[in-house]
Copies of this chain bind each other. A is one copy, B any other.
Amino acid sequence: MRGISRRDFLSAVGMAGGAGTMFATMGALGLAPTAMGTPNFQPPQPSDFRLTGRAAAKVVVLGGGIAGLTTAYELGKAGYDCTVLEARDIAGGRNFTVRGGTRQTDLDGHTQVGRFSDGQYMNAGPARIAQWMVTLDYCRELGVPIEPFANQNANALLYNDGMAEPVRFRTAKADVYGYVGELLSKATNQGALDDRLTADDKERLLAFLSNWGGLQPDRSYTGSPRRGFSVDPGAADQAGTPLGPPPALSEVFASGVGLYFSFEFEYDFAVQMFQPVGGMDRIPAALVRAIGADRVRTGSVVTGITNRDDGVSVTYTRNGRPQRIDADYCVSAMPPHLTARIPHNLGANVQSALAAFTADPVGKIGIEHRSRWWEAEHRIYGGITRTDLDIVQIWYPSNGFHGDRGVLIGYYNTGPSAIAYGQLTPREREARAVAQGVKIHGERYRTELASSFSVAWHRTPYLEGGWAIKYGSPEYTLLNQPQGRVYFAGDWLTYLVSWQAGAFDSARRVVTELHERVLKS
């Protein structure tokens, strides 16, 4: 996320986003090949050293999330001697895919072991990739196959507490757009906007509103086949029975369903989105293979960072034994608020800047069901149901269509809801999420349950939070500069906080700066 407030960001994850912010910059329509996608980035090349006679430097990378792995991967292209220290027993950081057998113990001592069936998984952290994001370029380069992620589905549901029953996105959209079309047609025809609209404008606007709103010839909205059908069109005399009539205008706007629509237009979330085939952790797995698994030391907990004029020393423990590594440079790609707890000699300004970052609570649960009733009975193939309940949303899987089983995301929440679920045991979280889901989908949501796995990121060791937003702040600016021979990297140092693309971009920037320095040294 970038250029929008933290409040807007949180509401984008939950409710639809707030009002857009004005950026009155000049620009074309953005269709030139260079205008979209990856910033111009030149990876370091082996020839960079061969041609200059210099030796590739030794770099220690702290943290084996996407930013750390990408740093080692890109520097490795030029022959840098990189070592990645990762505290957890697996690389990837928040890029974490839960399968059968996945084991995790949280800071409250709850141990979960994934019981998902073969082939079933849950992306507990990042789960979707926008077309413009550099993440896709890494998938291509690393040979990680991708498939569409259904972030939008007209058949998915909207449910606000107190509604008699959920309504499909398609139905809600037909009604809201129908009434908006009717109202604006009326105002236009009455001359209420004559100071803003020419006669040509009016004619074109009315034509648009009729088409887009599904209006009657008299420009009223009385329903439309876009709402859906109670009996589908079919053979012979089965012309189809459209749902109807629509609720009254007051009801439609009182329900608040329209507030969910803008999510689909946001730059980060608009269709078509993507996911790696088989789980998001295919990305860190491919990075580790490219780096060389021997260069990624899992189970390594950093205990000290000492910057010197001629290099950096990092102390850590591995399997309980103290270790030390010396390098020419260090890239710290750990969460800032955790780095703040590690003794270092980078000075009080750096320390207070690191400590100024606070990570947000984020929770997610994956619930495997014994059948894909949402497909067979409700014709919902992928997509997201939105609600004002504390689960915020239900995701239907974008893979394994027509299979025997599937994993729903039963909640993905932030703020107080994430804290509330995080305070429960995994079993209690499941029960609470299922009780909410039953309000939307009925008892099927409970009776088909096979198993679940929940993650409270703020209670997860060595991460302790979902994301940390301070872009544009003095602390952000400071830590985006090297401190002696120590660089910082991570999505928290970008305007793409919470996206893997941010981690990739931050690593690319650090790699570029570090490499230029090495070539000049």
A interface, CB within 8 angstroms of B:
2-4, 16-31, 33, 35-37, 39, 131-132, 136, 139-140, 145-148, 150, 152-155, 157, 165-168, 170-171, 173-174, 176-178, 180, 183-184, 186-188, 190, 192-193, 196-198, 200-201, 204-205, 207-212, 214-217, 222-245, 249-250, 253-254, 256, 258-259, 261-262, 265-267, 270-272, 274, 377-383, 398, 401-402, 471-472, 477, 480, 493-496, 502, 505-506, 508-509
Say yes or no: B262 contacts A3, CB within 8 Å: no
Q: Give Cα A240–Cα B236 distance, bound, in whole angstroms.
A: 56
Q: Give Cα A223–Cα B250 distance, bound, in whole angstroms.
A: 29
Say yes or no: A36 contacts B232, CB within 8 Å: yes
Cross-chain contact of A166 among B29, B378, B401 (Cβ < 8 A): B29
On chain B, the residues within 8 Å of A171 by CB distance are 29-30
If A20-B226, A184-B187 are given as contacts, then 8 extra A-B residue pairs at C-beta distance below 8 Å, sorted by A number, are: A3-B240, A30-B171, A35-B231, A148-B148, A153-B271, A180-B209, A214-B265, A236-B506
Q: Give Cα A241–Cα B24 distance, bound, in whole angstroms.
A: 9
Q: Given A223-B22, A234-B505, A253-B208, do A27 and B271 touch, yes or no (CB 8 Å)? A: no
The secondary structure that dominates the A interface is loop
Say yes or no: B216 contacts A22, CB within 8 Å: yes
Say yes or no: B244 contacts A24, CB within 8 Å: yes
Q: Give Cα A173–Cα B467 distance, bound, in whole angstroms.
A: 30
Give the top 5 A-B pairs by smallest Cβ distance, nearest first.
A20-B214, A20-B224, A2-B233, A154-B270, A192-B192
On chain B, the residues within 8 Å of A19 by CB distance are 210-211, 214-217
Say yes or no: B262 contacts A231, CB within 8 Å: no
Say yes or no: A31 contacts B378, CB within 8 Å: yes
On chain B, the residues within 8 Å of A139 by CB distance are 402
Q: Give Cα A25–Cα B224 distance, bound, in whole angstroms.
A: 11
Closest chain B CB from A416 CB (angstroms): 22
Q: Give Cα A187–Cα B183 distance, bound, in whole angstroms.
A: 9
On chain B, the residues within 8 Å of A382 by CB distance are 148, 272
Say yes or no: A155 contacts B184, CB within 8 Å: no
On chain B, the residues within 8 Å of A165 by CB distance are 28-29, 31
Say yes or no: A233 contacts B495, CB within 8 Å: yes
Say yes or no: B155 contacts A250, CB within 8 Å: no
On chain B, the residues within 8 Å of A495 by CB distance are 233-235, 238-240
A-B contact pairs, 28 of them (CB 8 A): A20-B174, A20-B224, A20-B225, A23-B241, A25-B241, A25-B242, A29-B168, A30-B227, A31-B165, A131-B379, A132-B155, A136-B381, A148-B382, A152-B152, A170-B270, A173-B265, A176-B208, A183-B205, A205-B253, A211-B258, A212-B261, A225-B266, A226-B265, A226-B267, A234-B502, A235-B505, A271-B383, A272-B382
Q: Give Cα A36–Cα B201 distance, bound, in whole angstroms.
A: 40
**Max chain B Cβ within 10 angstroms of own Cβ: one of A21, A198, A211:** A211
Say yes or no: A509 contacts B236, CB within 8 Å: yes
Q: Given A19-B214, A234-B496, A274-B401, do A147 and B150 touch, yes or no (CB 8 Å)? A: no
Determine the residue in chain B with the shortest Cβ distance to A180.
B184
Closest chain B CB from A471 CB (angstroms): 7
Q: Given A19-B210, A193-B183, do A493 and B236 touch, yes or no (CB 8 Å)? A: yes
Say yes or no: B494 contacts A131, CB within 8 Å: no
Say yes or no: B506 contacts A235, CB within 8 Å: yes
On chain B, the residues within 8 Å of A173 by CB distance are 265
Say yes or no: B212 contacts A258, CB within 8 Å: yes
**Max chain B Cβ within 10 angstroms of own Cβ: one of A186, A230, A265, A493:** A265
Say yes or no: A211 contacts B18, CB within 8 Å: yes
Cross-chain contact of A271 among B2, B177, B187, B271 (Cβ < 8 A): B271
Closest chain B CB from A371 CB (angstroms): 12
On chain B, the residues within 8 Å of A140 by CB distance are 402
On chain B, the residues within 8 Å of A152 by CB distance are 152, 271-272
Q: Given A24-B222, A244-B24, do A150 and B272 touch, yes or no (CB 8 Å)? A: yes
**Max chain B Cβ within 10 angstroms of own Cβ: one of A140, A208, A256, A259:** A208
**Max chain B Cβ within 10 angstroms of own Cβ: one of A36, A140, A505:** A36
Q: Give Cα A432–Cα B401 distance, bound, in whole angstroms.
A: 39
Say yes or no: A36 contacts B211, CB within 8 Å: no
On chain B, the residues within 8 Å of A21 by CB distance are 224-225
Say yes or no: B271 contacts A150, CB within 8 Å: yes
Say yes or no: A254 contacts B204, CB within 8 Å: yes
On chain B, the residues within 8 Å of A131 by CB distance are 153, 155, 379-381
Q: Give Cα A495–Cα B227 distance, bound, in whole angstroms.
A: 17
Say yes or no: A212 contacts B262, CB within 8 Å: yes
Q: Give Cα A186–Cα B188 distance, bound, in whole angstroms.
A: 11
